[in-house]
Amino acid sequence: MEYQDAVCTLNTLQTNASALDQVRRERGHPEIQLQAMRGFLQRAGLKVEELDHLNIIHVTGTKGKGSTCAFTEQILRNYGFRTGFYSSPHLVQVRERIRINGRPIEKDLFTKYFWQVYNRLDETKESHGGTMPAYFRFLTILAFHVFLQEKVDVAVIEVGIGGAYDCTNIIRRPWVCGISSLGIDHTSILGDTIEKIAWQKGGIFKPGVPAFTVKQQEGPMTVLQQRAEEIGCSLSVCPELGQYQSLGVEPVKLGLAGLHQRSNASLALQLTHCWLQRRCSTGRGSAAGFGGFGTAPVFEPSPRMLKGLAETDWLGRNQTLTHGGITYFLDGAHTTRSMQACVRWFSEAAAQHETNTTWVPILLISVQFFSFSCLLLFITDVLVFPQPCHFDFAVFCPNITEAIATCNADQQNFNVSVENMLTRCLDNQQSWRVLNGREEKPEAEFLIGDGLPLVAEQRSATLVFPCILSALRWITQGKDPVLSDPSKHLIPVKVSVNAKAAPLRAASNIHVLITGSLHLVGGALKHLEPSLAS
């Protein structure tokens, strides 16, 4: 069996009727989700107790949990430990979710372990009502299996959604837990207030296991304190990153751009410091005696810690790519607070790339999963932050890499229809026009038939394209040779739409902000960095 065979089989768990039915049944009874997860883990030949040997660092949050995990993993790898890192979602290939020593596991290794786990579950499904785990549950089980087989010294585990009922919370005895910045997201699952969301996130706390959090708003911070007291663990608030420098440490340099990464870096320092203390202690009972709430101590980061922070690389988050005269700014922001942070980062980063030559700023955005209010806030920030960001074009597209699906199964999503995605793009295009003071009746062409629709055309500087590659090629107008693969099939673009690209053809430099979804960013990276798909 090849890697693509494994991924195609994995994708059936997105649409598996029994898995989807199980998810629907559990939606009103979240407490049984972990019970189901234990059953799947056992059927896969694993025991919950075995996970204790992974020396886990468990991290949740709304924004920044993945970056925190990336900082944490890099630091511990710099100490010479064999690291495992489980994260979601992936950008280009699903094997990115499961990393050994910072690198996605090789295709042959993924394939080998995939079939070991899948076959065990498949062989036992008839005696369990025909049930198979859904997509994310399966990958979580697979990650645990890989880390155990590969004998990692530490496993850094990023929560999927929430915490209390997330399938990663089957972990019984992590070494330390962390919570990054909290905000409003996944309200249908976690609750419609930040306090309810904080309750869910605090569900990863474990008795006697130290927990750390970045500074939070008063309401959610109170909830986290209550959760820590109920569960029986200490909870410490991380200091500002600048406080470490008060000890005479040289300025802390981060490999990830953006001011918001400073709190993630501080959380990573506390998590690794705590983990290392326990690792170097004589016994595993070093958590005894923890309790209460307070500020985490400021310590002097070691050279290995500082080197780890500076070397951390996390694609798709405040990432800049330059291809000749085209500069791409990529960030998977999709919540209110993350969009605000994205605007701040882009304003500063784009200013550093400005030249005396003619340049055109473009926004390529997918707003498939966040609300009209988030779009409103993003546009407001773009227009007022502190030096207004003006975009000559706002381009919308669904999270579809190419107009005609190729053999790449890694980026297929069967949970939302093409028609739904395109309708949402057209709705958001019109919202953009209205919020920018262009309230004309839309004239978009929306054709759903034998194929995907042609480009939706407007008199304003907003357009909708049927796929990511079509949007990128129109934006770059042949200036990026990486996008010029003639074997890639594209739906023809109207002559009138090509005519609108005259400013792009005349420009010496083009700045493209790609944001709104990690799935959009991943689809763009597949085309912009072809090596990621190999």
For the annotated binding site for ATP, the residues are 317, 331
Instruction: Map residue 359 onto helix, strand or coil.
Output: strand
Contact between residue 117 and residue 44 where contact means Cβ atoms under 8 Å apart: yes
Looking up tokens 């229809």 gives: 417
Q: CA-based Rg of the chain, rounded to a whole angstrom? A: 23
Burial 234-273 (b: 16+ CB within 10 A, else e): bbbbbbebeebeeeebeebebbbbbebbbbbbbbbbbbbb
Distances (CA, A) of 531 to 175, 301, 482, 499: 36, 35, 11, 33
Q: Side chain identity at 34, as an amino acid letter?
A: L
Binding residues for Mg(2+): 88, 158, 186
Burial of 30 (0-12, 13-18, 19+ CB in 10 A): middle
Residue 135's nearest CA partner among 200, 83, 197, 90 is 90
DSSP secondary structure of 79-119: TT--EEEE-S--SS-GGGGEEETTEEPPHHHHHHHHHHHHH
Angle 350-347-264 from CA coordinates, rounded to 5°:
105
The DSSP call for residue 323 is E
List helix spans (H) across 312-417.
336-353, 372-384
Q: Considering only CA atoms, which of 350, 271, 325 is closest in space to residue 64?
A: 271
Binding site feature residues: 88, 158, 186, 317, 331
Q: Is 40 exposed, middle or buried (0-12, 13-18, 19+ CB in 10 A)?
A: buried
Instruction: Give the single-character DSSP code of 173.
Output: -
